[in-house]
Amino acid sequence: MLKNIWKHRWDYPYLLPALGVMGLLIVYPFFYTIFLSFYDTPSSRPEIFFVGLDNYRELLRDETFLLVVKNTLIWSVFGTLCPFLVGFLAALLVNQKLPGLNFARGLMIVPYAMGFVPASHAWRWIFHGDFGVITGTLQYLGLIKDPIPFLQSPALIMPSLILVNTWKSFPFVMIMVYAGLQTIPESLYKAARVDGASAWSQFWEITVPQLSNVLMVTSMLMFISNMNQFTLIEIMTGGGPAYLSEIIVTWIYHSSFQTLRFGLASAASVLLFLVLIVFSIFYVRTLTRSAVQG
């Protein structure tokens, strides 16, 4: 082992700057977070106190945190499913052999290309309770009388956020699925047509099985990025009203930088790490297994 390292000693200088930066900014914070999760960090005093698993106990007993976990699940599942379906449909559409579809594909990427910050502000304005364009249009058409409080109503807040995420993320799914569709040999469809398969059968017997890998990877990446989505929710609702749109990452942010409970927030971070690590392992497994099977 040492001999092997010595043999490759001239490889490491290439990595040194990157490893230094990563160690400082990624590895150290990672372990520091785990460390801090066992401590109480009272805002009134500079010292910190070892409390063992108290932070974890508190979290699992805290009804607000359990609500936040539930919100995170709803947000991540439906925030993945909806863009996924729309993006899949978009990919199938732009994959048809008709003129002008490349151009349409370029247009549809725009929401994905836009930053989360301006997009969130734009949607905040679109959803505006009194002067929002949706409310205004529906009122004008006489379909509703009272304004729709998209971002205030407990029933509407999650669907509204998921709608924004669908708009923002469906192009990502479209890009991935479209790339996957490109790799399916045309001859498979020709063979299926000769073999008598209808368009419907071709979709289920060829397209879906051939895309299984891409669909798996895409939904996994989407799910993880939704769990980690801070900007959109923070700007649109700040987690409110009354924690109804708070998800774990925004909760961690508010607990550390607003209520200054760094230890508790770190414990939540560690729990989130664990969940994400399980996901990552699952993800890498899927990738390597499908690579082996070809």
Q: Which of residues 206-245 bind other proteins (CB under 8 A)?
A: 206, 209-210, 212-214, 217-218, 224, 227-228, 230-231, 234-235
Helix (H) or strand (E) holding 49: strand 49-50
Interface with other proteins, residue 282, by CB under 8 A: no
What is d(CA 291, CA 294) in angstroms, rounded to the nearest whole number?
5
Q: Does 26 bind other proteins (CB under 8 A)?
A: yes
Asked if 143 interacts with other proteins (CB under 8 A), we say no
- Beta carbons within 8 Å of 36's beta carbon, 6+ residues apart: 48, 262, 263, 266
Under the criterion CB under 8 A, does residue 117 sit at the interface with other proteins?
yes
**The one-letter amino acid at 219:** S
Q: List the beta bridge partners of residue 39.
A: 50
Closer CB to other proteins, 44 or 293, in the complex: 293
For residue 280, what are the contacts with CB-CB under 8 A and spacing of at least 6? Answer: 224
Q: Cα 279 from chain centroid? A: 13
Stretch near other proteins under the rule CB under 8 A, chosen from 63-71, 75-83, 154-162, 264-272: 264-272
Window contacting other proteins (CB under 8 A); options: 55-63, 77-85, 131-139, 152-160: 131-139
Q: State which of residues 129, 136, 240, 241 lies at the interface with other proteins (CB under 8 A).
A: 136
Query: Is position 113 an interface residue for other proteins (rule: CB under 8 A)?
Result: yes
Q: Which is nearer to other proteins, 28 or 154 (CB)?
A: 28
Largest CA distance in the chain: 80
Among 73, 85, 191, 242, binds other proteins (CB under 8 A): 191
Q: Look up residue 17 and give its two tokens.
A: 């700057």
Q: Residue 210: exposed, middle, or buried by beta-carbon count in 10 A (0-12, 13-18, 19+)?
A: middle
Determine, following the binding rule CB under 8 A, whether residue 85 of this chain makes contact with other proteins: no
Is residue 102 within 8 A of residue 174, CB to CB? The reply is no
Of the candidate spans 53-61, 76-84, 136-144, 154-162, the one that interacts with other proteins by CB under 8 A turns out to be 136-144
| Cα–Cα distance, 140 to 134 (Å, whole number) | 10
Least distance from C-beta 113 to other proteins, angstroms? 4
